[in-house]
Amino acid sequence: MLTSQMRRRISDAIKKAESRTDAELVTVLARESDNYLYISTLWAAFLALLLAPLLQFLPWWIEFYEAFTLQWILFILLALLFRWRPLTMLLVPKRVKYWRAANVARREFLEQELHSTEGRLGLLIFVSEAEHYVEILADRGLAEHIGDETWREVVEQFIGEVKRGRTADAFLHCIERCGDLLEEAAPLTGAKNELPDHLVVLE
């Protein structure tokens, strides 16, 4: 996650970008979009069930209830092990991670009230750290002037910088680029600021 100094730089960049446009720009950084405990628990249950066919090879003196107990112990141990975050994220399919992150992005678009700006000129830059997910959502007033392909290019540049370990710079360059696009699509016509300019952080 970004330091307080980096957050201030991002806030200043947002203010600078919005000083040139009627659009409203909001950035959201989430540590994760889901805890995925249901998936790690399912994996633990599945692997514990795989123990059942092996029970026939156990020594004859082990009773059925003892074998059943072994399954429960294995399930509990695996469930605890799979709660270790790096391992949890390895167990979750990329498609599921992106689906959850996309849902959170759309929820934040509504919660940050980007859908209610004057002229429908709201823009959300959403980043979910655990899922390595970045998405830019533009409201109707901007979508009429800026195509999805343009936003995809901005996202790809953002991701490229993050992979090189330049997360703060990635945010700043993305905001600057979005500011240029917003100025072209909705140039400033009057002083207004409908939404906060700081980086929203979801811990």
Q: Please tell me the chain's helix, strand, coil percentages from 3-state DSSP, rounded to the nearest 5.
A: 60, 10, 30
- For residue range 109-153, list pLDDT tens digits in order: 999 989 888 889 999 999 998 898 999 999 999 999 999 999 999
> In a 3-state reduction of DSSP, which class is residue 203?
coil
Provide the pLDDT for residue 164: 82
pLDDT beyond 90 at 191: no
Provide the pLDDT for residue 117: 87
Provide the pLDDT for residue 64: 57
| Residue appearing with tokens 């370990």 | 165
The pTM for the full model equals: 0.85
In this predicted model, which residue has the larger pLDDT, 192 or 200?
Answer: 200
Q: What is the set of domains in the chain, with CATH numbers? A: 4-34+93-202 (3.10.310.50), 37-91 (no CATH)
CA 184, 189, 195, 198 dihedral sign is positive
Q: What is the signed CA dihedral for 90, 95, 98, 103, rounded to 10 degrees?
A: -130
